[in-house]
Amino acid sequence: MTIASDKIITFTNGILGLEQYKRYVLLDHPGTDVIKWLEAVDAPEIALPVTNPFYFFPNYSPKISRENLLQIDIKSPEEAIVLCVLTIGSNPKDITINLKAPIVINADSRLADQFIAENPEYNIREPLQLKRACSDRRCQSC
Partner 1 sequence: MLVLTRKTGEGIIISNDIIIKVFEIEGDRVKIGIEAPKTTKVLRLELYEDISRENKKAVDAAKDAVDKLFELF
- The site for partner 1 (CB under 8 A) is made up of 13, 15-18, 29, 31-32, 35, 37, 46-49, 65, 67, 71, 85-89, 92-93, 95, 98, 100-101, 114, 116, 124-125, 130-131, 134
User: CB of 136: closest distance to partner 1 in angstroms?
Assistant: 13
Main-chain dihedrals φ then ψ at residue 28, nearest 5 degrees: -75, 155
Query: Which lies closer to partner 1 via its Cβ, residue 61 or residue 129?
Result: 129
User: CB of 7: closest distance to partner 1 in angstroms?
Assistant: 19
Q: What is the DSSP string of 70-121?
A: HTTT--SGGGEEEEEEEEE-SSTT-EEE--SS-EEEETTT-EEEE-----TT
Query: Which lies closer to partner 1 via its Cβ, residue 6 or residue 100?
Result: 100
Query: Which lies closer to partner 1 via its Cβ, residue 58 or residue 92?
Result: 92
CA distances from 58 to 15, 33, 46 (A): 24, 17, 29
